[in-house]
Structure 1
Amino acid sequence: MITTVLRHALRARGGEPAVLCHTGAETRADLAGLPTAPGDLLLDLDAQPPGQPVFDDDRVAGLVAVVAATTTDLNRVLTSAVHLPRAVHVVAALVATPGHQEPPVPVGPGMGQWRDLQELRVRRVDRRGWVCELFFPNAIETAPVLDAVLHGTRGRRRGPALAPLAALNGTEAALWRPGDTGAHGVAAQGPVPLRRVTPVADLALRLHDHETPPAWTDEAVPALDRTSTDTDSWDGLTGPDGHTRAAGIADTAVVRAAHTSTDPVQRIAPVDETTVNPTGFAKAENGPLGELTLHGDRAVIRQGRKDLVTVAPDGTVTDVDLAHLRHLRGVRVDWTGHSGPRAAVRAVASLAAGGVPLVSDPVPAWAAGLGRPLTELLANAAEADLSDRLAREEHSVRLRRAALRTHGLRSRWRALAAEAGVPVPAGPRISVILCTRRPEMVGFALAQIARQRGVDLETVLTLHGFPAALPRVRAAIDAYRATGLPITVHEAPADQVFGSVLNDSVARACGDLIAKWDDDDWYGPEHLSDLVLARTYSGAELVGTGQDFVFLQEVDLTVWRSRESETTTRFIAGGTILTDRVVLEETGGFRPLPRAIDTQLLIAVARGGGRVHRTHGLGYVLRRTGGGHTWSEDMAYFLHNYARQWSGWRPSSLLEGEPAPLGIGNAQEQPVGATQHTGGHP
C-alpha cells in the first residue's frame, strides 16, 4: 500500500525532483523499485546529521516522502528533517503504530501557513499503518508538515516544552533531541548561528567518535561533548569474545571507557518519553516470560524461539516494540546480549520506561549508566513476583518512575543544562485544591498533602461552612505551615453550592496545575509526581487514577478492582484530577452543582476535543463510609468485579503506609474514621 501511494505520487510530481526518505528498521524496502528519475534522492534520515542541507541551493521538491517504521522513528528524525527541501506534495507514512495511538490527522499550524491547502488524505495501511498526504499549490516547509502529522497522533496538546534551546552536531545528535524542529545544526567547532543578534540556541551538544573534537569557538554559547553509541561496541573494546565476557566485566578498560564521566547516567542518550512510555500497559501476569538476549549479532527480545523485537544497535526501543511485548508477564535481561555497554543501558532503560516488568541477574559494573534507582530495582526483583498481578504492577510502576525520571528526555536536558551552567525555567507548581465540610478531617487530609515528594506545591484549603478558628482545625493548619509548605485558607459559607466553592478555590490558587484532593481518601507520597509524569508522556488535557483500591469502612474491607490503567478513558477518580489552569478556563471550570461535578468536568473536557488519561491507581485508596459523599454509589457497586479483597485496611505497598494526622496531640483526639492503620503490603 505504501509503495502504491509513492508510485502514484512520483508519477504526479511534475518536473521537480523527489526526495524519498526512510527511517527505522527495514523501511528502505518500501522505496525499492520505485519509478525514480535522474535528480531524485534516496535519503536515510537516520544517517543524516543536523545542519546538513539536502540540496546545496534553494531548490523546491515536487515530492518529499518520509517512510517511518514507527512513530518513535518519525519523531526522532524530525530533528534532521528541518533541512529537507520545501515541497508542494508531502507524504508521511507510518509502517506500524501501537493500538492505543490516534490516527495521524495533522494538527495545522496557527499562523495561516495552510490557508491554501488543496487536499489532505489520511489512509490506513494494513492493520496498524497509516499514510498521510498533503497537497499545496505552492511549496511549503516540509519539517513543520511532518511535525503536524506526528502531533496529530498525540491529540491537541504538545506537553511540556523541552529546554534549553539546543544546537547539535553529529549523526547521532537526533537521539538526544527527538521531535525538536527548533533544534539547529552547528559546525563541530561552532559558532552557534545568530538570528539577527541572538544565538539560535542556549546550549550546543556535540556527538563524536573517539577522536578529540576541535576546540569550541563560541564564547556566548557553551558546548558539551558526548561520544556516539557505536564507539563502545564490545567487539571494538574487548575483541571477538566481548559478548561472552560482558557479564563478568568488573574493572577493565571497558568499564573505564563506559564511565568517562563522574556521572555515567549523563553519557546515555535519553529515552523519548512522548512515544516510549507505559501507555498500553497490560495486566499479563499469566503471560510467558521473554528474554533480552543476543541472537546472531543483534540484541533481541525472544519468547522461546521467536524473536518479538530486534533492538536497534543504538539501543532504541520503539512504541511498536513495546506493543509487541505487552502480552509478556516480564522480560529477563541477559547482560551479554547487546552490541555495547551504552546500547545495553539504553535498551534496558527504555523497556523500564515503557513499564515492562524486568528481572535480571546482578547488574554488571559497566551498566552503571542505568543509575542507582534502576540498578537497585533490578537487583531486588524476583521472577516469582511477575506471576502475581499486584506485585507485578507495583514493580512496573517503580521501574517506570525510575527510568522516566532518570533517563527521560526532559530530565536529561535539564541535567545537561545544569552541567553547562545554563539556567532553565522552573518546573510547574501544583495548586492542591482541598475543600471540606468536616473539621475532623482537616488534619488527616493535610498530612496526606504534606508528605508529597518530587513536586513543587501549594495548598488552597477551603473550609465549607465552618471557621478556621476551631481548635483542631487551627492546630492542623499550624502544623502544616510548620512544614514550610505554603497554604491559603478560605472560609466558604455553608449554603454555597459545592461546584461554586471549588471555582472560588481555583481563583485563589497560584499554581500552573490544579490538583483536586478529597479530605478522607489516602494518597501515596508519589501521587502527585506520578500524575505529573503521566501528564508529560500522555499529552492529555487531564490526568488521574482509577478507583482501584477502595476501603469500605462500614464492613472494614479493602477491595482491589484492578482497573485498566495507562489508557485514554472517560472516567477517573474525582479526587485524583490533575489538569492545567487553562483547561479549566477552556471548559468553563466546575459546574455550580452540589454533586457529580467531577463527572461534569470530564464530560466537558471530552466534548471540547480533549483527552483524559488514567494512570495507575496503586498510590490511592478511596474511602467509602455510610454517607456524605458527592458521588452516591452504594457498597454493592464496589464489590462487583474485584480482583482481590482483604479484611481491614490493606493498600498497595506503593502507598507507603499512612501518616499521622496533623495537629493531633494524642490518640483520643483523632477524628472518627481516621484511625491509624498498620498498612503494609497485603
Structure 2
Amino acid sequence: MITTAVRNALRTRGREPAVLCHTGAPESARVPLERLPLGPADRLVDLDTHPMGESVLGEQEAGLVAVVAATTTDLHRAVTTAVHLPRAVHVVVALVDTTGLQEPPIPAAPGMGQWRDVQEVRVRRVGRRGWLCELFFPNAVEAAEVLDAVMHGTRGRRRGPAVAPMAVLSGHEGALWRPGDTGVHGIEAAGPVPLRRVTPVGDLALRVGAVRAPEWADTAVPALDRGTTSADSWTAITGATARAREVSGADTAPVDERVHAVAPIDELTVNPTGFSRVAGGRLADLTVHGPHAVVREGKKDLVTVAADGTVTDVDLARLRHLGGVRVDWSGHTGPSAAVRAVASLAAGGVPLLSGPVPAWAGGLGQALTDLITGAEEADVADPLRREEYSVRLRRAALRTHGHRARWRALGARAGVPLPPEPTVSVILCTRRPEMVGFALAQIARQRGVSVEVVLSLHGFPADLPEVASAIADFGATGVPLTVHEADADQIFGTVLNDAVSRTAGDLVAKWDDDDWYGPEHLADLVLARAYSGGELVGVGQDFVYLQEVDLTLWRSRRSEASTRFIAGGTILTDRAVLEEVGGFRPLPRAIDTQLLIAVIRGGGRIYRAHGLGYVLRRTGGGHTWSEDMSFFLHDHTRQWSGWCPSTLLEGEPAPLGQHVTEYTGGLR
C-alpha cells in the first residue's frame, strides 16, 4: 500500500520535483521507495545519513514530500532532519510498523493558522500495525511541521517538557542527539550561528562528525564537538592505533566525559512502556550474527540492531516475552554503537546480564555497569525480582543516557545557563493527628526531586504535642513546609483545593497519610511524566497490606501503560492540568476517581508507572475509597504473612516526632 500511495502521488504532483525519504531499517523503509518512476529533478534521501546544515532542494518548493519510517522511533528522529526538507503541497508520511501501544498518528494542527486552508487529510492503516497519512494543501507548507504533527498525534495531547538548551546542529548523525525537534537549525561546521533579527537561533552548537571540525567562528554561541558512532572503531582498540589511544587516555578519561560522548537515547519512544511480567521466560543474547549486532533467541534473530546502536520501540516490543538478555561484548558495529544498544535495552526495562564490561565501554556509566555485572540469572527468573531489577536498570539508563539528561550535561559543560528542574508540591491532607509523623517521614526521605509540602490538618490544630513534634522534626530536614488548619466540617475536596492554592511547585503530587512510599517514588513519577506523554501519572495498587489480617499481597496489575485508574495517593500532575479540569470536586469521597474522569473527559492521558515503591494500607474502615477485604484477596499473584513490601521500598522510615508520642502502628 505504501508503494502504491507514493506512486499515485508521483503521478499527480505536477511539474515540481518530488523528494522521497526513508529512515530506519532499509529493508522496511527504503524498499517501498525503490523502483519508483523518478524524474531527473526528483530526490531519494536517506534521512539517517543526511547531514545537518545541508538543504535538500535549497529554496525550491516540492510538489511532493514522502517520508517512510520503519518505526515511530525512526520517525521521531527524522523530524529533526526534516527541517532541511522543502515546503510541499502534498506530504505523505508512512509508518511501516508500530507497537500498537501509541495513539493512531492523526495529525495535530500546528495551532497558528498554518493549516486553515488544508484541503484533505487521509489516515489509514497499512497491514496490521502500520499507518499511512496523506495531507493536501493548496499552498506549500513546511514538511517538518507535518512530520511533527503526525508524530505528535501518536502521543496524544501533551508533548512533554522541552529539552534545553536550544541547539543548532552540524554534520552527520546530528538527529541522534536531538530527535523530534523542529526548532533545531542546521549550520555549517565552522559556524556562525544564524540570527533571527538580533538573536541567535540557538544557545549551543553541537558539531557531530567523524573528522576533526574546523575552527569555530562564532564568539557568542559556544560549540561542542562529538564523533559519530562510526568515528571510533575496533581498529582503534585492537589495531595499530591502539597504543596511541592508550597514551591519549581515551579509555581512562573521566567516566562523565565518556558517558557524555555517547549519543543519547530518545526516551520519548525508547522507554519501559509495554513492560510485561514474565515468569520463567527464556534468555536471549545480544551478540553478532553475520555483519550485524542482533538479539538472538536460540537460532532466531528477534531484533537486528541498527549500525548506530539505535534500538526502537518496535524492537523492545519484540523482546517483552523474554526473561532477559545476555550481553556479549565481543562484537557489535563499533564501541559507541554497542554502548548505545545496551543502554537502550536498559532504558526499555529489558533485564540484562553481563560479564565484566570492557574498558572501551566505559561510556555506559558506572551505575549501569554495576547493575548489569552484578545481576544473576536468578534475578530474572523470579517475576518480582525481575521487575525490581528492571526498574533499577531503567532508572539508571534514562537518568544517564536520556536526551534531556544529556543536553543538560552538555549545556553545563558549555557554560550555558539552564532552566531549573521542575519542583514538586506534595499535598497531604489528614484527619488523624497520630499519622502526621508517619506521613511526613515518608516525604522526608524522597530523593532525586526538589520537594515542598503543604500539610492540611483537617479538624485539629498544629499545636497538638505529637503534631508539633513531627512538624519540628520535618522542619529540621530543610524541606519547605506550609501548615494549613482546615475546619472539621469543610468538605474534603475543598480542603485539597485550598492546599493546592498554597503550593508553589510546577507539579502537584497527592499523598495519603497511612500508605508507604519508597524514597524514589516521586522521582520515578517525574521520570514517567517525561517519557510517557501523560497529563497525569501515578501507580497501581501492586502491593497491598491488609492490616486486619496482617497480610501483604502482590497483585496482578499491569504497569507502564496508559490506563483509566491509578491509586489516588500517588497522583502527580501539572498545575496547569488541575486548572484545566477545575481542580478537585467539592465532594467528601471519591474525589480521586472524579479527577481521573475529568482528565480523560478533557482528552488527557493517564499513565500508570511501576507500583513497586508504594504499599497501600487497608484497615477495617476510615477510607474514602470503600472496598472490602475480599476485593483485594480476589486478584493477587502472591501473598506473605506480615508487612512484606518490595525491596524498592527500602524499608520503613521511623515516624517523625516519635520522641513525644510512641507510634504503635494502629489507625483510628
1:429 aligns to 2:423 (yes or no): yes
Match of 1:378 in 2: 372
Correspondent of 1:267 among 261, 265, 268: 261
Task: Name the CA distance, whole Å, in 2 between partners of 1:38 and 1:61.
Answer: 13
The code of the aligned residue for 1:669 comes to E
Task: Name the CA distance, whole Å, in 1 between partners of 2:453 and 2:248.
Answer: 47
For the residue of structure 1 that corresponds to 2:90, the secondary structure is: strand
Correspondent of 2:588 among 578, 591, 594: 594
Q: Note the C-alpha offset of 1:261.
A: 5.8
Task: Name the CA distance, whole Å, in 1 between partners of 2:169 and 2:611.
Answer: 40
Match of 2:219 in 1: 219
Match of 2:626 in 1: 632
Q: Note the C-alpha offset of 1:259.
A: 5.5
Correspondent of 2:662 among 652, 661, 669: 669
The code of the aligned residue for 1:133 comes to E
Match of 1:25 in 2: 25
Task: Name the CA distance, whole Å, in 2 between partners of 1:640 and 1:491.
Answer: 39
Q: Structure 2 matches for 1:99-110, cutoff 5 A? A: 99-110=100-111
Task: Name the CA distance, whole Å, in 2 between partners of 1:581 and 1:124.
Answer: 37
Task: Name the CA distance, whole Å, in 2 between partners of 1:600 and 1:509.
Answer: 21
Q: Structure 2 matches for 1:610-629, cutoff 5 A? A: 610-629=604-623
Match of 1:680 in 2: none
For the residue of structure 2 that corresponds to 1:622, the secondary structure is: strand
Deviation digits for residues 418-437 of structure 1, max 9, x if unmatched? 10110110011100000000
Task: Name the CA distance, whole Å, in 2 between partners of 1:251 and 1:171.
Answer: 25
For the residue of structure 1 that corresponds to 2:429, the secondary structure is: strand
The code of the aligned residue for 1:232 comes to D
Correspondent of 1:282 among 276, 281, 290: 276
Task: Name the CA distance, whole Å, in 2 between partners of 1:205 and 1:508.
Answer: 42
Q: Structure 2 matches for 1:346-425, cutoff 5 A? A: 346-425=340-419
The code of the aligned residue for 1:78 comes to V
The code of the aligned residue for 2:479 comes to L
Decide which moves more: 262-271 or 435-444: 262-271
The code of the aligned residue for 1:273 comes to E
Whether the 8 Å contact between 1:261 and 1:267 is mirrored in structure 2 is: no
Match of 1:189 in 2: 190
Match of 1:678 in 2: none
Task: Name the CA distance, whole Å, in 1 between partners of 2:404 and 2:546.
Answer: 40
Q: Note the C-alpha offset of 1:674.
A: 7.8
For the residue of structure 2 that corresponds to 1:232, the secondary structure is: coil
The code of the aligned residue for 1:177 comes to R
Deviation digits for residues 606-641 of structure 1, max 9, x if unmatched? 111110000000000000011100000000111112
Task: Name the CA distance, whole Å, in 1 between partners of 2:373 and 2:444.
Answer: 31
Task: Name the CA distance, whole Å, in 2 between partners of 1:672 and 1:320.
Answer: 47
Match of 2:53 in 1: 51
Q: Note the C-alpha offset of 1:673.
A: 2.5
The code of the aligned residue for 1:39 comes to A
Q: Structure 2 matches for 1:530-679, cutoff 5 A? A: 530-665=524-659, 669-673=662-666
Task: Name the CA distance, whole Å, in 1 between partners of 2:220 and 2:453.
Answer: 41
The code of the aligned residue for 2:7 comes to R
How many residue pairs were aligned?
Answer: 665
Deviation digits for residues 65-109 of structure 1, max 9, x if unmatched? 000001111111211111111100001000001121111001111
Q: Structure 2 matches for 1:289-300, cutoff 5 A? A: 289-300=283-294
Q: Note the C-alpha offset of 1:339.
A: 1.6
Q: Note the C-alpha offset of 1:251.
A: 11
Whether the 8 Å contact between 2:53 and 2:171 is mirrored in structure 1 is: no
Task: Name the CA distance, whole Å, in 2 between partners of 1:657 and 1:640.
Answer: 27
Q: Note the C-alpha offset of 1:23.
A: 0.6
Change in CA separation of 1:19 and 1:197 when aligned onto 2, cut-off 3 Å:
same
The code of the aligned residue for 1:187 comes to E
For the residue of structure 2 that corresponds to 1:168, the secondary structure is: strand
Task: Name the CA distance, whole Å, in 2 between partners of 1:566 and 1:130.
Answer: 24
Task: Name the CA distance, whole Å, in 2 between partners of 1:205 and 1:374.
Answer: 26
Q: Structure 2 matches for 1:148-187, cutoff 5 A? A: 148-187=149-188
Task: Name the CA distance, whole Å, in 2 between partners of 1:89 and 1:261.
Answer: 50
The code of the aligned residue for 1:29 comes to V
Q: Given the two structures, how large is their TM-score scaled by the length of structure 2?
A: 0.97
Task: Name the CA distance, whole Å, in 2 between partners of 1:146 and 1:179.
Answer: 9
Match of 1:527 in 2: 521
Change in CA separation of 1:17 and 1:581 when aligned onto 2, cut-off 3 Å:
same
Deviation digits for residues 203-255 of structure 1, max 9, x if unmatched? 1111122x432111211111111111101121454259x9xxxxxx9997499
Q: Note the C-alpha offset of 1:37.
A: 2.1
Q: Note the C-alpha offset of 1:389.
A: 0.5
Deviation digits for residues 162-214 of structure 1, max 9, x if unmatched? 100001111111111111111111111111111111111101111122x4321
Q: Note the C-alpha offset of 1:60.
A: 1.4
Task: Name the CA distance, whole Å, in 2 between partners of 1:251 and 1:264.
Answer: 17
Change in CA separation of 1:94 and 1:272 when aligned onto 2, cut-off 3 Å:
same
Match of 1:471 in 2: 465
Whether the 8 Å contact between 2:245 and 2:251 is mirrored in structure 1 is: no
Task: Name the CA distance, whole Å, in 1 between partners of 2:333 and 2:8.
Answer: 40
The code of the aligned residue for 1:30 comes to P
Task: Name the CA distance, whole Å, in 2 between partners of 1:401 and 1:674.
Answer: 34
Deviation digits for residues 323-380 of structure 1, max 9, x if unmatched? 1111111101001131221111110000000000111112122211111110110121
1:331 aligns to 2:311 (yes or no): no
Match of 2:446 in 1: 452
Correspondent of 2:40 among 18, 38, 41: 38
The code of the aligned residue for 1:110 comes to G
Identity %: 71
Task: Name the CA distance, whole Å, in 2 between partners of 1:674 and 1:496.
Answer: 22
Whether the 8 Å contact between 1:279 and 1:566 is mirrored in structure 2 is: yes
The code of the aligned residue for 1:21 comes to C
Q: Note the C-alpha offset of 1:588.
A: 1.2
The code of the aligned residue for 2:121 comes to L
1:60 aligns to 2:53 (yes or no): no
For the residue of structure 2 that corresponds to 1:378, the secondary structure is: helix
The code of the aligned residue for 1:12 comes to T
Q: Given the two structures, how large is their TM-score scaled by the length of structure 1?
A: 0.95
The code of the aligned residue for 1:88 comes to V
Whether the 8 Å contact between 1:566 and 1:614 is mirrored in structure 2 is: yes
For the residue of structure 2 that corresponds to 1:325, the secondary structure is: coil
Q: Note the C-alpha offset of 1:488.
A: 0.5
Task: Name the CA distance, whole Å, in 1 between partners of 2:639 and 2:351.
Answer: 24
Deviation digits for residues 396-435 of structure 1, max 9, x if unmatched? 0000000000000100000001101101100111000000
Whether the 8 Å contact between 1:258 and 1:342 is mirrored in structure 2 is: no
Q: Structure 2 matches for 1:482-501, cutoff 5 A? A: 482-501=476-495
For the residue of structure 2 that corresponds to 1:335, the secondary structure is: coil
The code of the aligned residue for 2:603 comes to G
Task: Name the CA distance, whole Å, in 2 between partners of 1:255 and 1:291.
Answer: 33
Match of 1:679 in 2: none
Task: Name the CA distance, whole Å, in 1 between partners of 2:246 and 2:229.
Answer: 16
For the residue of structure 1 that corresponds to 2:48, the secondary structure is: helix
Whether the 8 Å contact between 1:104 and 1:153 is mirrored in structure 2 is: yes
Whether the 8 Å contact between 1:237 and 1:254 is mirrored in structure 2 is: no
Q: Structure 2 matches for 1:56-95, cutoff 5 A? A: 56=58, 58-95=59-96
Task: Name the CA distance, whole Å, in 1 between partners of 2:664 and 2:429.
Answer: 17
CA RMSD of aligned residues (A): 1.7
Whether the 8 Å contact between 1:294 and 1:300 is mirrored in structure 2 is: yes
Task: Name the CA distance, whole Å, in 2 between partners of 1:284 and 1:647.
Answer: 24
Task: Name the CA distance, whole Å, in 2 between partners of 1:296 and 1:235.
Answer: 19
Where structure 2 has 5 or more consecutive residues not aligned to the other structure, the ranges are none
Task: Name the CA distance, whole Å, in 1 between partners of 2:388 and 2:130.
Answer: 33
Whether the 8 Å contact between 1:258 and 1:341 is mirrored in structure 2 is: no
Change in CA separation of 1:146 and 1:456 when aligned onto 2, cut-off 3 Å:
same
Task: Name the CA distance, whole Å, in 2 between partners of 1:494 and 1:398.
Answer: 42
Task: Name the CA distance, whole Å, in 1 between partners of 2:48 and 2:249.
Answer: 29
